[in-house]
Amino acid sequence: MTDGYDCYQYALAERIKGILKEEFLIQTYQNITQAAQVIEQSIYIYNNEGRT
């Protein structure tokens, strides 16, 4: 759930969740720490390099 029940925030959250499921969580990771690192790196790339 997002802050303030804003439907656009909810849509964005669902889109991000879908991207993570389809593109990054298709692999099997050795542990939760490794999975968290992949997600963190993905978010960093999206925020800093994906918007050119």
Instruction: Give residue-wise pLDDT tens across range 4-52.
Output: 667 777 787 788 788 777 876 678 889 999 988 988 887 887 778 755 5
Q: State the maximum Cα–Cα separation within the chain, in Å, rounded to a whole number.
A: 37
The answer to whether the beta carbons of residues 38 and 24 sit under 8 Å apart is yes
- Model pLDDT, residue 33: 94
pTM as predicted: 0.52
Pick the closest to residue 21 from 38, 5, 3, 6 (CA basis). Answer: 38
| Total count of domains within the chain | 1
The domain in which residue 40 lies consists of 3-48
